[in-house]
A = this chain, B = another copy of it.
Amino acid sequence: MKRLKSYSLRKWIEGNGNFKKIYSPVNGKEIAEISSSGLNFKEMLEYARNIGGTKLRSMTFHERARMLKALAQYLMKRKDEFYPLSYMTGATKTDSWIDIEGGISTFFTYASKGRKELPDETFLTEGKTEILSKNGTFVGQHICVPLEGCAVHINAFNFPCWGMLEKLAPTFLAGMPAIVKPASVTAYLAEAVVGAMIESNLLPDGALQLICGDTGDLFDHLTGQDVVTFTGSAETGRKLKSHPKIIENSVRFNLEADSLNCSILGPDVTPDMEEFNLFIKEVVNEMTVKAGQKCTAIRRTIVPLPQLHNVVNSLKEKLSKVKAGSPLEEGVRMGPLVSASQLDEVNQKMSILKNSAEVVFEKSNGKINGGAFFEPVLLLCNNPLTSIEPHETEAFGPVSTVMPYNDIDEAIKIARMGGGSLVGSLFTADDDTARKVVLGIGAYHGRIMIVNRYCAKESTGHGSPLPHLVHGGPGRAGGGEEMGGIRGISKYMQRVALQGHPTTLSKICRQWIKGAQQITDKVHPFKKYWDEIRIGETYFTPRRTITEADIVNFAAISGDHFYAHTDEIAARESIFEKRVAHGYFVLSAAAGLFVDPAPGPVLANYGLEDLRFTKPVYPGDTISAALTCKKKTAKEKRENEPAQGIIEWYVEVKNQNDEIAAVYTILTLVKRKEETL
């Protein structure tokens, strides 16, 4: 029999006793044995922190992002090895696709976001500079630095691949190493994926370790620099969250527990509308994908009373067509539950649910040929506002309870009775209803999907967390939050408020902050390569007197004859009190002052940010501009393109009285010196 191995300190290690057996959910036969006995958890944590962490922290966000991309590409190449293992867990082909390719896609998304939305630095300069003093010699700036501990990810059985990768993506991007502990019952798939990642040689040594089996005394060695995430049952989650070391060392703990997610059919929807069919399809889908063993599955189906009969009948019809069986069998749409004990668990919860709901659809259920098969069950609770069980008891299988409501306020009340959910959805063609429901149930949800005929085709579905959006929910759902794009990395970083002189903070953050030292040079900045321009380097332009003729000419060429520029009488009555130069002329004249016309390393001005016209420019005013290099970002070298980098220039246009007329940031694309690459 196969014995699963853990990966610790660069070695694959088999447990040395206390093996637990893993059985097939399809036929009840033994698949593998698992034990972490003999592992030195303290050493694993220290190895992660000292070896993996040190290396990851020395990499920039862009380097980490490129590593994620390469890993994703590598895993995609080897995906065919993972499918057969996934089928063994009872997952169908569709279920497996979500788990395997959906999981790998989180790496792709974080790889892309890391390069687009994060700087090419080892840490993050976050938010705007805070002015803390009158003369601006003392300012504040937040940064986020990687935590120097280890992330311990304890994952659920249902998505051994996705559940692992969606957590590893932001962990690695943030610069933290991880130890992964998959749920034992499906650990063989996680073991295979981790194995592939290790074999890829794309990860630094110590960045990833694996525990197959239990976590032993690992928690006793956690520090305030470590992070624990847990996805699974609320009961286990709570136990771990209140572990003495977690409390004592303020260890960050992110809990994602199953919740009683709802889907609401809008009061406007009737069976002749597309939204009705979309709703029915989604409920059946969420009940049966992964045999309903999804933390985001629709457990509560909330429908307007007039449609109750129609909804129940439509659901029954669809459910009756769902064929359950072995994932390898032809035509099977739903696999078994993950294990015999999970089957017992679902049956036990069913009996609780039946206290306040009647069964309106079921097939015969039980072990078939030793497999843990459970056919879909639809329940009906006629008094959802006075019942407790359907809002608090979750049968983690293909089970949902239909509940009628009289008006939308009642639907909102029912939805909130779940006490906090990962996700809720609403099917409506009425956007006013959508706003009301979102604001009514928002505080109780981590994600809300609103579906109508216009978005349905492209919708990713009620049950699919996406790396772009936060995943997690308040209260019963555990109070955690994962992913959410770049937000997700903050769980693995420490936010630090820096205070000091702008020059000091500029040096630390490697970006110029207003008030910091400005360096000048006799060479015009447009004559310099990206590499040659220093942060803080400033070009002070000559001056230009703005005349009435300029305004007249600019109105003529732009076609902008707004009265404030061309009608002296109306201008006098306006907030400007007399004619003013066009704002766009001020920008254009400033460019005229700072641009060096000859061909040189500057390729283009491709954008502009945060422009404010702070003071009108009148005929007779004399303006000048100062251009300061604020930030430099190297771009990846592409074939058939000169090596390039981005330079952000902070620009101030002032008048003869040193008053700021306009302030903005321009983005330029500048060539890099080939020899530096």
Contact = CB atoms under 8 A, between A and B. Distances in A.
Given A457-B137, A503-B454, A566-B597, A603 B588 contact: no
Chain copies in the assembly? 2
Nearest to A416: B148
Contact of A434 (B508, B584, B613): B508
A611 B607 contact: yes
Interface string A467-488: 0111100111111110011010
Given A499-B450, A588-B584, A250 B242 contact: no
5 contacts: A438-B496, A448-B498, A469-B499, A554-B588, A567-B597
A497 B560 contact: no
Contact of A504 (B450, B476, B593): B450
A452 B584 contact: no
A506 to B, nearest CB: 8
A531 B238 CA distance: 51
Contacts of A562: 595-597
A475 B226 CA distance: 9
Given A133-B458, A610-B609, A431 B559 contact: no
Contacts of A611: 607-609, 611
Nearest to A257: B250
A19 interface: no
Contacts of A528: none
Interface stretch (A33-41, A87-95, A139-147, A209-217): A139-147
| Residue of A143, A459, A484, A608 with highest tally of chain B CB at under 10 A | A608
A561 B466 CA distance: 48
B250 A476 contact: yes
A382 to B, nearest CB: 26
A447 B597 contact: no
Interface string A596-609: 11110001111111
Interface in A553-600: 553-554, 557-564, 566-567, 570, 573-576, 582-585, 587-589, 591-593, 595-599
Contact of A250 (B145, B470, B475): B475
A502 B505 CA distance: 40
Contact of A448 (B471, B496, B560): B496
Nearest to A503: B431
Interface of A: 122-123, 127, 130, 132-135, 137-138, 140, 142-143, 145-148, 223-225, 238, 241-242, 247-252, 255, 257, 419-420, 431-432, 434-435, 438-439, 442-452, 454-455, 457-460, 466, 468-471, 474-481, 484-485, 487, 494-501, 503-505, 507-508, 544, 550, 553-554, 557-564, 566-567, 570, 573-576, 582-585, 587-589, 591-593, 595-599, 603-613, 664
Given A145-B442, A466-B140, A508-B431, A479 B588 contact: no
Contacts of A138: 455, 458-460
A612 B604 contact: no
Interface secondary structure of A, over-half rule: mixed
Given A450-B499, A450-B500, A561-B597, A224 B588 contact: no
A434 B612 contact: no
Nearest to A495: B470
B507 A431 contact: yes
The 8 A-B residue pairs whose C-beta atoms are closest, nearest first, are A224-B475, A559-B592, A250-B479, A133-B458, A469-B497, A450-B500, A455-B501, A558-B588
A607 to B, nearest CB: 5
